[in-house]
Amino acid sequence: MAFISHPLATIFYCFTVIFYRIKEIIMLHKVTARGLWWLLPALALAGLSACSTVNPVTLAQMARLDPMTVPPGNVAVRLALPQGLKVAPGGALLELSVANQKSGETLTGRFELAETNQVWALTPQDATRLEALQARTRSWPDDDREGTLAVTVTGCRIGDGPSPGAVINIDISFDAGGSFAPLVRNLSAEEVIGTAGAGPQQGGHISDSGAQGAGCLGL
């Protein structure tokens, strides 16, 4: 299966609140009767801010990948964060849940993403674990499997948060960080925090991180 770009604005709606703990922040994958679909954030992100841009060339490159066979250790995401925002320690997780609808068997996994110089990726050990889960699910008939693969992130505002006009940029790599392609440009940090702090109706809230001058954004 390849990445599927869906025309509805519901795709990757959670991406719009990147700095509170959310499902589907970097990738939302849906396993269907035809395999694993990688749903992309183009319309939802474009709708969040008129000044933010999702790169169509990168989306086209992603559309040629098979998420059931791409080595998990090759996937990396680079977050360019403005001053006043950070990802909480241990706050970036990849979660997998795939169910065999015929047998009732469910496979789940939860993996902490490790950060090096603003690049987030699985550790070699967790990449191996995820590869094993991929192999298990590939042994099931396509019509029998259904589930999700998502990244969740808890972000923290430092002090007064980012300055007015600060933006977030996101790049993605499929060669273990050897090269990065631009995915999102000029996502308004103020708008993201405003969406996260709007309350349960908007999907998130601001919670106390326990650290002096910092607030973490979580579900």
**Residue 164, class by beta-carbon neighbours within 10 Å (0-12 exposed, 13-18 middle, 19+ buried)?**
exposed
Q: CB neighbours of 205 closer than 8 A, spacing ≥ 6?
A: 20, 196, 197, 199, 217, 218, 219
Q: CB neighbours of 123 closer than 8 A, spacing ≥ 6?
A: 111, 112, 114
Give the domain range for residue 54: 3-218
In the predicted structure, residue 96 carries a pLDDT above the cut 90: no
**Residue 200, class by beta-carbon neighbours within 10 Å (0-12 exposed, 13-18 middle, 19+ buried)?**
exposed
Number of domains in the chain: 1
* Model confidence, pTM: 0.65
Q: CB neighbours of 165 closer than 8 A, spacing ≥ 6?
A: 190
**Residue 179, class by beta-carbon neighbours within 10 Å (0-12 exposed, 13-18 middle, 19+ buried)?**
exposed
Lowest-confidence range among 59-68, 118-127, 129-138?
59-68
Give the mean model confidence (pLDDT) for residues 89-117. 86
**What confidence tens digit (pLDDT) does each residue in 166-212 have?**
988 888 888 989 999 998 888 888 777 765 554 433 333 333 343 33
9-24: b or e for each residue (b if 16 or more CB lie within 10 Å)? eebbbbbbbbbbbbeb
| Predicted local confidence at residue 189, as pLDDT | 81
| Predicted local confidence at residue 150, as pLDDT | 65
What are the structure tokens assigned to 202, written together? 């908007």
Q: Which residue has the higher pLDDT, 130 or 40?
A: 130
Q: Which residue has the higher pLDDT, 81 or 215?
A: 81
| Predicted local confidence at residue 107, as pLDDT | 87
Q: How many helices (H) and strands (E) does the chain have?
A: 4, 13
Reported confidence tier of residue 122, pLDDT bands at 50, 70, 90: very high
**What does the alpha-carbon distance between residue 191 and residue 183 come to, in Å, rounded to a whole number?**
18
| Predicted local confidence at residue 65, as pLDDT | 67
| Predicted local confidence at residue 46, as pLDDT | 39
Average pLDDT, rounded, for the chain: 67
